[in-house]
Amino acid sequence: MAGGRWGRWVVAVPMAGLALATAYPLVFTANVAVKSRREYVLDRFAPTGSPRWDNLAEAWAGVGTSRYFLNSTVVVACSVALLLLFGSMAGFALARLRFRGSSVLYLGCLAALFIPFQVIMVPLTRVLADTGLVDTYPGLVLAYVAQFLPFTVFLMTSYYSTVPAEIVDAARVDGSTALGAYWRIMLPMGAPALLSVGVLDALFCWNDVLIALLVMPSADHRTLMVGVTSLRGQYSDDVPVFASGVLVAAVPVLVVYLLLQRRIADGVTAGATRG
């Protein structure tokens, strides 16, 4: 197939080109980020002779990045913790407990999965405003939990469906309540799935800009990604510092990607193959 050995190399050449096109923009940005303005104007592509780490410090301080960074970290940590707690509870209940209306609830979650955020963003903002939650951390956390909970429930349900029913039955026979069985058995057993889903949820929340813009409008409450959108105006004449800001904001995600690449792909494909 594919014309044997030579055919494979013919296919491999455009693929290598595409890989270059995929990786190079980031390499370029990283290089520019540590150039001086003079170096950038003279030659954009040449590797820098003497990296200017000052740019990174300036970008970090200049846009209040540390403040935004803290906001993002707090909101993402709380959101993911709640998502995993509620998601695994609901997943366990839907997969392993038989109760009236469970299939209706599952369908409800599934339907919610297909409602795009844009479709509900106007009324959602209104509901949050009416309850005084706009521009508060709990408001944004709640918005993220609402946004990504159906996905989390869906994956946890399909994961728990693969855990043998006998394990829960045995716990029930030993006198454990449903909550006890969840807390002592299902939650620890779900660890691998929780890690995959949690990483994905964290990426979704961390990378979001639309929900954060809507729910946290004031300058002090900006998340990191909202902060990045203002970089361009601020450093329109200083491309290297602009690139530094972009790089600083991208680093956490790149680190997570390098460490947990397999987990992220697992989460994505679990959603796909069960769909």
Q: Interface residues for another protein in 89-118 (CB under 8 A)?
A: 89-90, 93-94, 105, 108-109, 111-112, 114-118
By CB under 8 A, residue 81 contacts another protein: no
Q: Which is nearer to another protein, 99 or 175 (CB)?
A: 99
Shortest Å, Cβ 155 to another protein: 13
Determine the Cα–Cα distance for residues 268 and 275; give it in Å rounded to an integer. Answer: 11
Shortest Å, Cβ 243 to another protein: 6
By CB under 8 A, residue 145 contacts another protein: yes
Q: Interface residues for another protein in 34-63 (CB under 8 A)?
A: 44-45
Q: Which is nearer to another protein, 177 or 269 (CB)?
A: 269
Shortest Å, Cβ 119 to another protein: 5
Report the residue from 6, 38, 49, 123 that binds another protein according to the rule CB under 8 A: 123
Q: Which amino acid is at 205?
A: C
Determine the Cα–Cα distance for residues 188 and 166; give it in Å rounded to an integer. Answer: 16
Q: Interface residues for another protein in 172-191 (CB under 8 A)?
A: none
Could you tell me which of 150, 154, 157 has the C-alpha nearest to residue 96? 157
| Binding window for another protein (CB under 8 A); candidates: 12-20, 49-57, 60-68, 158-166 | 12-20
By CB under 8 A, residue 259 contacts another protein: no
By CB under 8 A, residue 140 contacts another protein: no
Report the residue from 34, 143, 168, 194 that binds another protein according to the rule CB under 8 A: 143
Start-to-end CA distance of the chain, whole Å, equals: 31
By CB under 8 A, residue 73 contacts another protein: no
Residue indicated by tokens 């792909």? 265
The number of angstroms, rounded, from the C-alpha of 246 to the middle of its chain's C-alpha atoms is 17
Hey, what are 41's tokens?
Answer: 């104007």
Shortest Å, Cβ 121 to another protein: 7
Q: Are 194 and 88 contacting, i.e. CB atoms less than 8 angstroms apart? A: yes
Question: Residue 159: phi, psi to the nearest 5?
Answer: -70, -50
By CB under 8 A, residue 239 contacts another protein: yes
| Binding window for another protein (CB under 8 A); candidates: 47-55, 58-66, 164-172, 208-216 | 208-216
Q: Provide CB contacts within 8 A for 74, sequence distance 6+.
A: 137
By CB under 8 A, residue 78 contacts another protein: no
CA dihedral 182, 186, 192, 195 (to 10 degrees): 0
Q: Are 235 and 242 contacting, i.e. CB atoms less than 8 angstroms apart? A: yes
Q: Which amino acid is at 4?
A: G
Shortest Å, Cβ 161 to another protein: 16
Shortest Å, Cβ 188 to another protein: 19
Hey, what are 65's tokens?
Answer: 């990045």
Could you tell me which of 69, 83, 275 has the C-alpha nearest to residue 198? 83
